[in-house]
Amino acid sequence: MSIIGVGIDVAEIDRFAASLERTPALARRLFRTSELLLPSGERRGPASLAARFAAKEALAKALGAPPGLLWTDAEVWVEDSGRPRLRVTGTVAARAAELGVRSWHVSLSHDAGVASAVVIAEG
C-alpha cells in the first residue's frame, strides 16, 4: 500500500455555525441526513458538523481538489467504537478509483473554537 494523497483542513466553529444559520439550505448541500442527525434523531451540534465539513475539505485536498466533486458524495460516519470513517460514492468514488484509492484514514478534532480533520487516501 502507498499513500496517494493527504489532506488537512480547519473550520472555525462559530463562523461555520453562523453560515448554516444564515443559509439554512447549506446544510443539505454539504451533508447527508445521516451526518446531520444523531442516532437519537437530534441534530448534531455545530462542532461536530464543522469537523465533518473539515473532513470533506481534507478529502478533496487528498484527491487533488478536482472540480466537480459533490459534498454529499462523501459521508463521515462513526463506528460504534467511536472511530470516524469515510464512505464515498458518485463523483468522489470515481475520482478515488481514478487515482487507485483503496482505503481511507480520517481523524477529526475540535477544541478552542476550531474543528480540524486529516484525511489520508491509501492505494
Mean pLDDT of the chain: 96
**61-84 pLDDT, tens per residue?**
999 999 999 999 999 999 999 999
Number of domains within the chain = 1
pLDDT at res. 1: 84
pLDDT at residue 39, rounded to an integer: 86
C-alpha cell at 50: 464543522
Question: Is 79 annotated for ligand binding?
Answer: no
C-alpha cell at 24: 439554512
Q: Which domain holds residue 37?
A: 3-122
3-state secondary structure of 97: helix
CATH number, position 97:
3.90.470.20
Predicted confidence band at 30 (pLDDT cuts at 50, 70, 90)? very high
Written as one string, the DSSP assignment of 69-113 is: --GGGEEEEE-TTS-EEEEE-HHHHHHHHHHT--EEEEEEEEETT
| pLDDT tens column, 92-109 | 999 999 999 999 999 999
What's the whole-model pTM score? Answer: 0.94
Residue 73 annotated as lining a ligand binding site: no
